[in-house]
Amino acid sequence: MVDHYTYRITWSPEDGEHVALCAEFPSLSWLAPTPSKALAGIRRLVANVLADMRANGEKPPEPLAVRTYSGKFVVRVTPETHRDLALQAAEEGVSLNRLVNARLSGF
């Protein structure tokens, strides 16, 4: 299961090393001099945490890669932003949903 989690490796200027992170376990990180060593370290750490969770009867987080998504989420904006977006949508002849979806998608 450790292979199904989402990992990211980035450079940490503060530490002068690569830092590996796991999205499903945001409190975990691993520093190493190379990206491959950082990835290996975080994977071992996640495997250890999963083993501890199983031993204690805890349910591990579901990997992001296997979660299902509805395609719906609520975003709160100010009334002014809502009005501005509605106006822009009307001027473009599209629904507010389509306008916001296009903006979020980067188009």
Residue appearing with tokens 């490796």: 9
Same domain (yes/no): 48, 99: no
Same domain (yes/no): 60, 80: no
* pLDDT tens column, 20-49: 999 999 999 999 999 999 999 999 999 999
Same domain (yes/no): 35, 17: yes
Same domain (yes/no): 74, 61: no
Look at the chain and report how many structural domains it folds into: 2
Amino acid at 74: V
* pLDDT tens column, 49-87: 999 999 999 999 999 999 999 999 999 999 999 999 999
Kindly report the CATH number assigned to the domain that includes residue 6.
3.30.160
Confidence at 97, pLDDT banded by 50, 70, 90: very high
Q: How far apart are CA 46 and CA 67, in angstroms?
A: 18
